[in-house]
Structure 1
């Protein structure tokens, strides 16, 4: 396929490189000139348990491309989704598919405004992408991708096949909102609590109080999902959390890393989106809502005060 990767961070580099190694024609887009320069000169090297692979990279700003793509994948942070989609509007042809594997809620709806509902795919992935240095990504062969359409039950089969041929272990989901909501629930619990407290995943798992808060958030997210007609597996989410507590003890969540770096966080697209949806449905999410408000508070503090708050 002719594929565009919009957002050339660690996940974009991982997926784009895997797809290119499998013989697809891949073009990377980014807005940061530093990223463009590094990847254009160095390419991308993937390092996993089987060794390393390198690919040269075609990368540019979206406005410099002119021909439509068969598949456009959005890999930006949630707060940049709309601008990212608008930047590639001129590259969307009548048969172009759009795909989001971003964390959080609402991204598929944003893509659908440009691609159309029946050509919009969404999903989740648990592939790790660790940026070891510019252009070098640590990863694993043991991740998965679950994708499908919110509006067209049978959509996504061809893309899932292309992904699997690239070693991305993709499965077409006929009820893709289930894995999306399960990951949102997982991230609402860990990311928000970690971002507020400064705790690593292992730190949360080692605290009885923190684990109780996690359980409360999972229950609140489940209630909102049910009200939306989405039947998530609380057991599945709980197992994923337990696995994270046991095997990713030193891991800092993306929200904590963003807070430490003074960057805007995705709180409004993860826990905040669940809390907002709960309010609109008349479902109280007091624990999650309070944590999201605290997350917004600590990221609004001047750096000196934020350090003291930590």
Structure 2
């Protein structure tokens, strides 16, 4: 299955390398010429707790190509989704499928505009991915991928099998909205709060006031999901938060790192998306709404907020 990885950051390089090592024809699509040049020259080296693997890589800007792909996997930040998918429109064939494994809400709906409901998939993953340098990715072998669709996608089992055969531990979910919203609840609490306070995950876990805010954001997010009849599990989310507080004490969330670097944040596709859906469905989210406004206020001049 000829596959394009759209967004060759840490997660894109991890998934692209895994697929290519398993025999899939992969092309990395990105807009950063330095990343493209390094991938073409050096390939991707993947380090896990048990081994180091290397694969050559082919990378390009989408505008430089004139070919179609069977599968596109989107790994850009949520605020880039619309532009990213528009940039690959000329590469989408009649049978091409699009898969988003991005954080946040609304990405699958953007993909549906180009791929259609019967060829759009979404999912979540808990694989970590860190770049020590372009083309040098560290991860582990314990993560998994959970896949599904908002409509009927006949090729969903085949794509799950493709990812699973690449040691990405993929499985199909009957209602993919549940894991998506459980991850959104987790990120809405930790990302927004860390971006506002500058605290690491461990710092949030150690502060009773911060823990109280986490509990409030979780309560509000669960209320919105409940109004949308999405049967999320409070217990699973709380267990994930407790695990993060215990084992990721020095971790900075991506939103905090983006804010510190003066980059745009995903506030509008994570916490902000929950707030908007709450407003549309008559559910009040005062704590999360305030945290989102504080993130936007703290963004540096020139940020795309």
TM-score by length of 2: 0.97
Deviations 1:29-81 (A, max 9, x none): 00011111111111110000111000111000101111111100111001100
Deviations 1:132-158 (A, max 9, x none): 122100100000000110112765211
SS in 2 for 1:267: coil
1:149-160 residue pairs with structure 2 within 5 A? Answer: 149-152=149-152, 156-160=156-160
Q: Distance in 1 between matches of 2:100 and 2:153?
A: 16
Residue 24 (structure 1) aligns with: 24
Residue 173 (structure 2) aligns with: 173
Residue 308 (structure 1) aligns with: none
Deviations 1:252-275 (A, max 9, x none): 000000011110000000000000
Deviations 1:240-290 (A, max 9, x none): 000000000000000000011110000000000000110111110000000
Q: Distance in 1 between matches of 2:218 and 2:66?
A: 45
Residue 71 (structure 2) aligns with: 71
Superposed CA RMSD: 1.2
- Residue 149 of structure 1 contacts residue 155 of structure 1 at CA under 8 Å; is this kept in 2? no
Residue 131 (structure 1) aligns with: 131
Quote the offset at 1:300 in angstroms.
3.8
Deviations 1:154-187 (A, max 9, x none): 6521111111100000011120000000000000
Residue 227 (structure 1) aligns with: 227
- Give the paired residue count: 303
- Residue 154 of structure 1 contacts residue 174 of structure 1 at CA under 8 Å; is this kept in 2? no
1:206-225 residue pairs with structure 2 within 5 A? Answer: 206-225=206-225
Task: Identify unmatched segments of 5+ residues in structure 1.
Answer: 304-310
Q: Distance in 2 between matches of 1:288 and 1:152?
A: 33
Q: Distance in 1 between matches of 2:157 and 2:80?
A: 27
Residue 238 (structure 2) aligns with: 238
Q: Distance in 1 between matches of 2:175 and 2:249?
A: 31
Q: Distance in 2 between matches of 1:191 and 1:203?
A: 13
TM-score by length of 1: 0.96
Comparing 240-249 and 61-70, the one that deviates more: 61-70
Task: Identify unmatched segments of 5+ residues in structure 2.
Answer: none
Is 1:161 aligned with 2:178?
no
SS in 2 for 1:256: helix
